């Protein structure tokens, strides 16, 4: 039997298709004419596209074209780019790194990111908040990320619901009343007494816990990089306060960034939330009819939640062009624009000092002086010790608290489970 | 004219027939799998894969001592049973209905496949909304008959039932179609003979349809078992931000989700590879048990 | 006789004389009663409502979707949401890419699986059982198992962000082989094959003129299922492709970005990218059903 005789045309067809698809007909990212395409990988929203920054940069630099990809969830973004970072040849030229990852970058991945000081970033140091700059620097002084924004914490609250429950609604008065986190919980208990139906004082125990812990210098790791989550009294105290909130029914028992939590902004299921500056836009987006109902007051402590950096992978073929881009994106002018458009708080002291930021008032939040509230916090933030797995550990603690809130787990058991889960990650 | 030749269908032809499949598999299936087996013998951090450390079978030892693994195994089993057994029975029934002479036959058959055509993300989102604690429609319906709202996602059985509902919804039409294709090949005279012998519709179903469908049913059982052991998308997306953990206390974390969690959240690639290989071995064992049991039962039933 | 004997007996009666009777008899001639229609209509509603909700969400604004109770009928915002979606990502390109990818995978898989399925069903060769067992074995491999090495491979080959990175690894479907084998074992009479061989035709010739026509209904079903699966696949494409050259699921993943994920825009994108699938269904639904029917009637 001859093999070649009358092979089914379909088989031949398929092989041809396969052969065609094997031809790697792709385009190179830089032609000989000096045109460069920069591949920017981001997560969530940095506001660059919304504020037209990419378009403007491309107009100013006609030979640069920017292709940007954004993954909504940071927790999906980070593993995805690991393979790209570790590949021999690059896919991206600019990568974002959230503050919960930056220690991983500076401590364990220094060989994969470009030291931005070699490209000229050293002269920017005085522009930034000291703690923000330090977090992006390795122990031997290499700068691996330029800070984009920060998330100083205040308390966003529903003025109308507070009024219904007989609580004071003036933000200065409230700030004085809740001078400590325990006092905050006490306000919550008063709220509960006369609160409208189905309305809890605060959204989640986890959010509360994170805000409380945010004032501490040492959180899950010590300066030597050793995990101290189990013994650090700051962790225990924050946990205990959050447990108190959960067990006295002060929380709405939701999961942050879930559908139900999104809906809860408008429905009034919770009356207050530990509020980083980027949450301002979030609230406006979720509660379109909420103008005038919400307000912002300084909280009991100073904490930070979120904020990111932009870095350049060593395997990028266009490091110089990428650096020019990120330097421009994080320049004070642009940071001010982002604050104006999306409420993203600048990581640059210079930008924060400008009047468009420092004196900003938000009509949605009853003309609250958001600029002042957040920059006061930003200036007093401690230089916190970051660890490589901060984000993951926080996630576990949140789940432990959620289990108390929604599954009636005993706090001791929840603590044990949390310890087990954290050990599972860190070992 | 009869040519004296080797019996046709032997020789090299069969190998050529299976060659395309195996070639593609060798390149894109086999090699990565073997490499992953290699990875499972190391400690590898997703963020620093170059610093892999040889640890032999330590990952597997850790796995078998881990309460998370056993919990995930248990969850996989319970979700697997709840989402497969009723589903296949319903699929048989639906296929039977679709086999009748129907007006709008094509319409119904196409409609049954719509769930399979819906993306996992969109479907799970919709169902997660339905099963929502505060605003979900199912709780609203329960409220109409005086039952308190159920926190579907937090409870162990409630979350597993919800997830199984999503899985059943997605796959019942698919399996019904497979059964239907099989039913089409049953000769009508079998039914006629049975009818003549006095068998009613139900008996015809039981004594003609189902036995003739045996190979097909076994096929769907095997495929469903494999799918059930690997189930990953539905629990992950159902849980939203805590989906990768399978709920605040891992109440619906399946093996597939555990794999994803260890690899993509804890960045322990070596450990995740060990989970993957263990899943593979479990699947093999389950399929072997399935087919042996089925064969034996059929042989005994003969 | 008081009742049907064991099914084997009944079956034996049916296949006693294949030459006289058409191999595939007509389908069940029972007529559907009103209860059947009721059940089927109920099932249709259940099957379709998430898609319907996608339509509602796609035609409304984000605030409306989040309101309690949610709207039950579509609204006027579809075009606006689609516009917003297009602002963020080139959906047309994504749809075209998905059509190419899913189509190639469907055609390729069906061909490879029919070839292999036929071989395992009717041809005799050494190691047949072993190789078939191996094939089934490949089905038991969890999809995430080989993802990382596969990714490294794609990086080495330079195929990241190209469609072949998504097409080629997905061409292997042991399920397809299993499916075609099952079908052909049942549906392909040995007599026809023998007749072809006796007449001196090569195995390939027999495959083309005898096996393929009989296999067609199953090939159509398999092709459709594979197409759908490839269309909805997101785990691997999200690793292998970026927004520069996305398939539909990759594109949707990048939609609705912003501090507030805009659900209505995401749903508009989802809806728009499900429409081709439904169109394929609507067009081919008749064909496929007809194909199954035809296979049943053909002699």
Parallel/antiparallel/unpaired status of strands A294-297 and A304-311: unpaired
Q: What distance in Å separates the CA atoms of residue B112 and residue C285, rounded to the nearest whole number?
A: 11
Separation in Å, CA of A190 to nearest CA in chain B: 24
Q: Vertex B247, ends C257 and B75: CA angle to 5°? A: 125
What topology is assigned to C91-297 in CATH? MetI-like fold (1.10.3720)
Q: What distance in Å separates the CA atoms of residue B274 and residue B280, rounded to the nearest whole number?
A: 10
Instruction: Answer yes or no: do A285 and C62 touch at CB < 8 A.
Output: yes
* Partner residues linked to A146 by β-bridges: A310
What pLDDT was estimated at residue A13?
42
Please spell the DSSP secondary structure of C155-173, one letter per residue: HHHT-TTSTHHHHGGGG--
Instruction: Answer yes or no: do C14 and B277 touch at CB < 8 A.
Output: no
Instruction: Answer yes or no: do A79 and B267 touch at CB < 8 A.
Output: yes
Q: Which domain holds residue B94?
A: 63-301
Q: What distance in Å separates the CA atoms of residue C273 and residue C99, rounded to the nearest whole number?
A: 10
Task: Specify if B158 maps to a domain.
Answer: yes
Q: What distance in Å separates the CA atoms of residue B54 and residue B39, rounded to the nearest whole number?
A: 9
Give which of B103, B122, B133 to mutate to test C binding, by max C Cβ within 10 Å: B122
Tokens 């409870």 label which residue?
Answer: B155
Q: Is B41 helix (H, G, I), strand (E, B) or coil?
A: coil
Examine the domain organization and report whether A172 and A139 are in the same domain: no
Q: What distance in Å separates the CA atoms of residue B12 and residue B26, rounded to the nearest whole number?
A: 19
What pLDDT was estimated at residue A27?
38
Q: Which residues of B touch A144 (CB under 8 A)?
A: none
Of the partner residues C48, C137, C232, the one whose CB lies closest to the CB of residue B114: C48
Task: Specify if B41 maps to a domain.
Answer: no
Tokens 């409420």 label which residue?
Answer: A343
Q: What distance in Å separates the CA atoms of residue C223 and residue C215, rounded to the nearest whole number?
A: 12
Examine the domain organization and report whether A370 and A320 are in the same domain: no
Residue C216 in contact with partner chain B when CB distance is under 8 A: no
Helix or strand (DSSP H, E) at A85: helix A74-86
Instruction: Answer yes or no: do C155 and A80 touch at CB < 8 A.
Output: no
Note which residues in 264-323 of chain A have CB less than 8 A from chain B: 264, 267, 269
Q: Which residues of C touch A70 (CB under 8 A)?
A: 243, 254, 257
Instruction: Answer yes or no: do B97 and C40 touch at CB < 8 A.
Output: yes
Q: pLDDT (tens digit, 9 = 90+) per residue, B17-38?
A: 888 888 888 888 788 778 888 8
3-state secondary structure C13-68: HHCCCCCCCCCCCCCCCCECCHHHHHHHHHHHHHHHHHHHHHHHHHCCCHHHHHCC
Residue A21 in contact with partner chain C when CB distance is under 8 A: yes
Q: Residue A150: which of A286, A300, A309 has the closest Cα?
A: A309
Q: pLDDT (tens digit, 9 = 90+) per residue, C57-91?
A: 888 877 677 666 677 788 887 888 888 777 777 78
Separation in Å, CA of A73 to nearest CA in chain B: 9
R_g over Cα of chain C: 24
Mean pLDDT estimate for chain B: 85
Q: pLDDT (tens digit, 9 = 90+) per residue, B72-114?
A: 999 999 999 999 999 999 999 999 888 888 888 778 888 888 8
HSE, side-chain direction, 13 A CA sphere, residue B32: 22
Q: Is A99 helix (H, G, I), strand (E, B) or coil?
A: helix
Q: Is A304 helix (H, G, I), strand (E, B) or coil?
A: strand
For residue B150, give the DSSP letter. Answer: P
* Partner residues linked to A30 by β-bridges: A36
CB contacts < 8 A (A, C): 118
Residue C19 in contact with partner chain B when CB distance is under 8 A: no
Q: What distance in Å separates the CA atoms of residue A69 and residue A37, rounded to the nearest whole number?
A: 13
Of the partner residues A3, A256, A392, the one whose CB lies closest to the CB of residue B241: A256
Examine the domain organization and report whether A173 and A263 are in the same domain: yes
- Residue of chain A nearest C107, judged by CA positions: A14
Residue B158 in contact with partner chain A when CB distance is under 8 A: no
- Residue of chain C nearest A287, judged by CA positions: C63
What pLDDT was estimated at residue A146?
94
Helix or strand (DSSP H, E) at A69: strand A64-71
CATH number at residue A84: 3.40.190.10
Task: Specify if B4 maps to a domain.
Answer: no
More reliable by pLDDT, C276 or A211: A211
Separation in Å, CA of B47 to nearest CA in chain A: 6
How crowded is residue C259: how many other Cβ atoms within 10 Å of its Cβ? 21
Residue C283 in contact with partner chain A when CB distance is under 8 A: no
Structure-token pair, residue B156 = 């162990």
Q: What distance in Å separates the CA atoms of residue A204 and residue A211, rounded to the nearest whole number?
A: 11
Task: Specify if B165 maps to a domain.
Answer: yes
- Residue of chain A nearest B128, judged by CA positions: A259
Burial class (CB in 10 A: 0-12, 13-18, 19+), A110: middle
Please report which residue ranges of A109-170 form alpha helices under DSSP H. 130-135, 159-164
CB contacts < 8 A (A, B): 84
Longest pairwise C-alpha distance within chain B: 82
Quick check: bond before C69 cis, omega within 30? yes
Examine the domain organization and report whether A201 and A331 are in the same domain: no
Examine the domain organization and report whether A113 and A178 are in the same domain: no
How crowded is residue B284: how many other Cβ atoms within 10 Å of its Cβ? 16
Q: Residue B180: which of B206, B217, B207, B208 has the closest Cα?
A: B217
Please spell the DSSP secondary structure of B46-111, one letter per residue: TTEEEEEEE-TTHHHHHHHH-HHHHHHHHHHHHHHHHHHHHHHHHHHHHHHHHTSB-TTHHHHHHH
Q: Which domain holds residue A64?
A: 37-150+307-355
For residue A294, give the DSSP letter. Answer: E
Beta-carbon contacts of C241 under 8 Å, excluding residues fewer than 6 positions away, are: C160, C161, C163, C165, C166, C247, C250
Residues in chain A: 427
What are the CB-based long-range contacts (under 8 Å, 24+) for B285-289?
B286/B225, B286/B226, B286/B229, B287/B222, B287/B225, B287/B226, B287/C136, B287/C140
**Could you tell me if A392 and B265 are in contact, meaning their C-beta atoms sit under 8 angstroms apart?**
yes
**Could you tell me if B138 and B130 are in contact, meaning their C-beta atoms sit under 8 angstroms apart?**
yes
When divided into structural domains, chain A yields a total of 2
Give which of C3, C50, C178, C255 to mutate to test B binding, by max B Cβ within 10 Å: C50
Q: What distance in Å separates the CA atoms of residue B106 and residue C288, rounded to the nearest whole number?
A: 9
Instruction: Answer yes or no: do B12 and A82 touch at CB < 8 A.
Output: no
Of the partner residues A14, A260, A399, the one whose CB lies closest to the CB of residue B135: A260
Please report which residue ranges of chain B form alpha helices under DSSP H. 13-25, 31-39, 58-65, 67-98, 105-117, 120-130, 137-144, 156-184, 188-196, 201-204, 210-212, 214-230, 233-238, 255-260, 269-301
Q: Is B4 helix (H, G, I), strand (E, B) or coil?
A: coil
What pLDDT was estimated at residue B73?
96
Q: Is A297 helix (H, G, I), strand (E, B) or coil?
A: strand
Instruction: Answer yes or no: do C39 and B260 touch at CB < 8 A.
Output: no
When divided into structural domains, chain B yields a total of 1
CA torsion sign, B168 to B174 to B180 to B182? Answer: negative
Beta-carbon contacts of B132 under 8 Å, excluding residues fewer than 6 positions away, are: A259, A260, B139, B152
Of the partner residues C202, C242, C258, the one whose CB lies closest to the CB of residue A69: C242
**What residue spans define the domains of chain C?**
91-297
CA torsion sign, B141 to B142 to B143 to B146? Answer: positive
Last residue of a domain, one of A331, A355, A379: A355
For residue C211, give the DSSP letter. Answer: I
Q: What distance in Å separates the CA atoms of residue C46 and residue C40, rounded to the nearest whole number?
A: 10
Note which residues in 106-145 of chain C have CB less than 8 A from chain A: 107-108, 111-112, 115
Q: Which residues of C touch B265 (CB under 8 A)?
A: none
Q: What distance in Å separates the CA atoms of residue B84 and residue C9, rounded to the nearest whole number?
A: 31
Q: pLDDT (tens digit, 9 = 90+) per residue, C216-240?
A: 878 888 888 888 888 888 778 877 7
Task: Specify if B11 maps to a domain.
Answer: no
pLDDT band of residue C295 (cuts 50, 70, 90) is very low
Neighbours of chain B (3+ CB pairs under 8 A): A, C
Give which of C60, C257, C262, C265 to mutate to test A binding, by max A Cβ within 10 Å: C257
Examine the domain organization and report whether A289 and A317 are in the same domain: no
The torsion of the CA quartet B204, B208, B211, B217, rounded to 10 degrees, works out to: -70
Burial class (CB in 10 A: 0-12, 13-18, 19+), A184: buried
- Residue of chain A nearest B264, judged by CA positions: A79
- Please give the model's pTM, rounded to 2 decimal places: 0.83
* Main-chain dihedrals φ then ψ at residue A154, nearest 5 degrees: -135, -170
Structure-token pair, residue C261 = 């994920």
Q: What distance in Å separates the CA atoms of residue A371 and residue A362, rounded to the nearest whole number?
A: 9
Instruction: Answer yes or no: do A267 and C112 touch at CB < 8 A.
Output: no
**pLDDT < 70 positions in chain B:** 1-11, 298-302
Q: What distance in Å separates the CA atoms of residue B110 and residue A353, rounded to the nearest whole number?
A: 63
- Residue of chain C nearest B24, judged by CA positions: C172
Task: Specify if A296 maps to a domain.
Answer: yes
Residue C53 in contact with partner chain B when CB distance is under 8 A: yes
- Residue of chain B nearest A5, judged by CA positions: B13
Q: What distance in Å separates the CA atoms of residue B194 and residue B211, rounded to the nearest whole number?
A: 13
Q: Residue A343: which of A296, A384, A383 has the closest Cα?
A: A296
- pLDDT tens string for chain A (427 positions)? 333 333 344 444 444 444 444 433 333 444 446 789 999 999 887 889 888 999 999 999 999 999 888 777 787 788 878 878 877 776 789 999 999 999 999 998 999 999 999 999 989 999 999 889 999 999 999 999 999 999 999 999 999 999 999 999 999 999 999 999 999 999 999 999 999 888 999 999 999 999 999 888 899 999 888 999 999 999 999 999 999 999 999 999 999 888 788 888 988 999 999 999 989 988 988 888 889 999 999 999 898 998 999 999 998 999 999 999 999 999 999 999 999 988 899 999 999 999 999 999 999 999 999 999 999 999 898 888 999 999 889 999 999 999 999 999 999 999 999 999 999 998 7
HSE, side-chain direction, 13 A CA sphere, residue A101: 28
For residue A354, give the DSSP letter. Answer: S
Neighbours of chain A (3+ CB pairs under 8 A): B, C
Q: Residue C78: which of C66, C67, C64, C96 has the closest Cα?
A: C64
> Helix C128-139 vs helix B13-25: angle between axes, to the nearest 10 degrees?
20
**Could you tell me if A162 and A169 are in contact, meaning their C-beta atoms sit under 8 angstroms apart?**
yes
């Amino acid at each position: 039997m001859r093999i070649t005789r009358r092979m089914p045309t379909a088989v031949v067809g398929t092989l041809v298709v396969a052969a065609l698809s094997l031809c790697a007909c792709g385009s190179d990212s830089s032609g000989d004419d000096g045109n460069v395409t920069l591949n920017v990988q981001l997560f969530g929203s940095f506001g660059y596209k919304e504020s037209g920054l990419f378009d403007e940069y491309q107009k100013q630099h006609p030979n640069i074209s920017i292709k940007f990809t954004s993954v909504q969830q940071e927790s999906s973004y980070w593993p995805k780019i690991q393979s790209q970072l570790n590949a021999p040849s690059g896919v991206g030229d600019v990568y974002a790194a959230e503050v919960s990852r930056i220690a991983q970058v500076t401590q364990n991945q220094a060989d994969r990111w470009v030291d931005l000081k070699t490209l000229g970033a050293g002269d920017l140091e005085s522009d930034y908040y000291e703690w923000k700059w330090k977090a992006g620097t390795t122990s031997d002084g290499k700068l691996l990320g330029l800070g984009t924004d920060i998330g100083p914490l205040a308390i966003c609250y529903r003025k109308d619901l507070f009024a219904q429950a007989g609580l004071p609604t003036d933000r200065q008065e409230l700030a004085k009343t809740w001078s400590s986190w325990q006092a905050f919980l006490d306000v919550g208990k008063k709220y509960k007494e006369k609160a409208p139906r189905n309305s809890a004082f605060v959204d989640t125990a986890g959010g509360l816990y994170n805000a409380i812990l945010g004032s501490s210098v040492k959180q899950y790791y010590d300066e030597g990089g050793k995990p101290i989550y189990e013994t650090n009294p700051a962790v225990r105290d924050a946990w205990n306060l959050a447990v108190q909130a959960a067990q006295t029914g002060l929380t709405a028992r939701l999961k942050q960034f879930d559908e139900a939590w999104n809906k809860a902004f408008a429905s009034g299921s919770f009356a207050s939330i530990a509020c980083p500056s980027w949450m301002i836009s979030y609230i406006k987006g979720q509660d379109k009819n909420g103008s005038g109902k919400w307000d912002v007051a300084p909280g009991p402590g100073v904490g930070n939640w979120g904020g990111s950096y932009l870095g350049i992978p060593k395997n990028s073929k266009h490091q110089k062009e990428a650096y020019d881009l990120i330097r421009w994106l994080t320049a004070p002018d642009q940071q001010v624009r982002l604050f104006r458009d999306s409420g993203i708080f600048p990581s640059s002291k210079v930008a924060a000092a400008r009047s468009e930021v420092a004196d900003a008032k938000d009509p949605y939040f009853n003309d609250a002086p958001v600029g002042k509230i957040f920059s006061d916090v930003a200036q007093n933030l401690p230089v916190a010790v970051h660890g490589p797995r901060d984000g993951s550990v926080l996630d576990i603690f949140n789940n432990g608290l959620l289990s108390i809130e929604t599954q009636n787990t005993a706090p001791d058991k929840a603590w044990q489970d949390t310890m087990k889960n954290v050990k599972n990650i860190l070992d | 004219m009869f040519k004296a030749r080797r019996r046709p269908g032997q020789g090299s032809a069969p190998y050529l027939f299976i060659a395309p499949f195996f070639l593609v598999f060798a390149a894109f299936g086999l090699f990565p799998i073997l490499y992953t087996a290699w990875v499972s013998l190391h400690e590898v951090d997703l963020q620093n894969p170059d610093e892999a450390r040889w640890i032999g079978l330590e990952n597997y030892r850790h796995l078998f001592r881990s309460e998370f693994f056993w919990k995930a195994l248990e969850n996989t089993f319970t979700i697997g049973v709840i989402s497969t057994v009723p589903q296949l029975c319903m699929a048989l029934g639906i296929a039977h209905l679709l086999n009748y002479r129907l007006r709008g036959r094509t319409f119904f058959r196409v409609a049954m496949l719509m769930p399979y055509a819906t993306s996992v993300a969109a479907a799970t989102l919709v169902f997660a909304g339905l099963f929502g604690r505060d605003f979900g429609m199912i709780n609203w319906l329960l409220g109409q008959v005086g039952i308190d709202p159920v926190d579907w996602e937090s409870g162990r059985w409630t979350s597993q039932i919800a997830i199984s509902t999503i899985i059943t919804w997605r796959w019942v039409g698919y399996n019904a179609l497979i059964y239907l294709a099989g039913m089409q090949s049953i000769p009508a005279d079998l039914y006629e003979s049975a009818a003549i012998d006095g068998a009613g519709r139900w008996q015809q179903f039981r004594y003609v349809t189902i036995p003739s469908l045996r190979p097909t049913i076994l096929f769907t059982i095997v495929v469903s078992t494999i799918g059930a052991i690997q189930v990953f998308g539905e629990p992950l997306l159902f849980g939203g931000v805590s989906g990768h953990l399978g709920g605040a206390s891992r109440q619906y974390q399946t093996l597939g989700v555990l794999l994803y969690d260890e690899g993509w959240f804890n960045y322990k690639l070596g450990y995740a590879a060990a989970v993957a290989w263990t899943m593979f071995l479990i699947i093999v064992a389950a399929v072997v048990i399935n087919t042996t049991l089925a064969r034996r039962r059929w042989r005994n039933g003969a | 006789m008081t009742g049907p004997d064991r099914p084997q007996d009944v079956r034996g009666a049916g296949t006693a004389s294949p030459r006289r009777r058409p191999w595939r008899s007509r389908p069940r001639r029972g007529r559907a009663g009103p209860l059947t229609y009721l059940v089927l209509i109920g099932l249709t509603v259940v099957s379709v409502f998430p898609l319907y909700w996608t339509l509602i969400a796609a035609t409304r604004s984000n605030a409306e979707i989040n309101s309690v109770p949610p709207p039950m009928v579509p609204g006027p915002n579809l075009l606006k949401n689609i516009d917003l979606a297009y602002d963020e990502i080139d959906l047309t390109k994504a749809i075209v890419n998905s059509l190419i990818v899913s189509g190639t995978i469907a055609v390729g898989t069906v061909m490879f699986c029919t070839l292999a399925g036929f071989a395992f069903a009717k041809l005799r060769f050494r190691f047949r059982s072993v190789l078939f067992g191996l094939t089934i074995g490949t089905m038991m491999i969890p999809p995430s198992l080989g993802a990382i090495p596969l990714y490294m491979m794609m990086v080495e080959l330079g195929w990241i962000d190209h469609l072949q990175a998504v097409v080629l690894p997905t061409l292997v479907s042991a399920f397809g082989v299993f499916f075609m084998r099952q079908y052909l074992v049942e549906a392909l009479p040995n007599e026809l094959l023998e007749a072809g061989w006796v007449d001196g035709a090569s195995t390939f010739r027999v495959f083309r003129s005898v096996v393929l026509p009989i296999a067609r209904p199953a090939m159509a079903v398999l092709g459709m299922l594979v197409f759908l699966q490839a269309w909805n696949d997101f785990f691997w494409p999200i690793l292998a492709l970026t927004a520069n050259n996305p398939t539909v699921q990759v594109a949707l993943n990048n939609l609705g970005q912003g501090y507030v994920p805009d659900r209505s825009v995401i749903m508009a994108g989802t809806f728009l990218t499900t429409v081709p699938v439904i169109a394929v269904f609507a067009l081919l639904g008749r064909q496929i059903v007809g194909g199954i029917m035809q296979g049943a009637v053909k002699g």
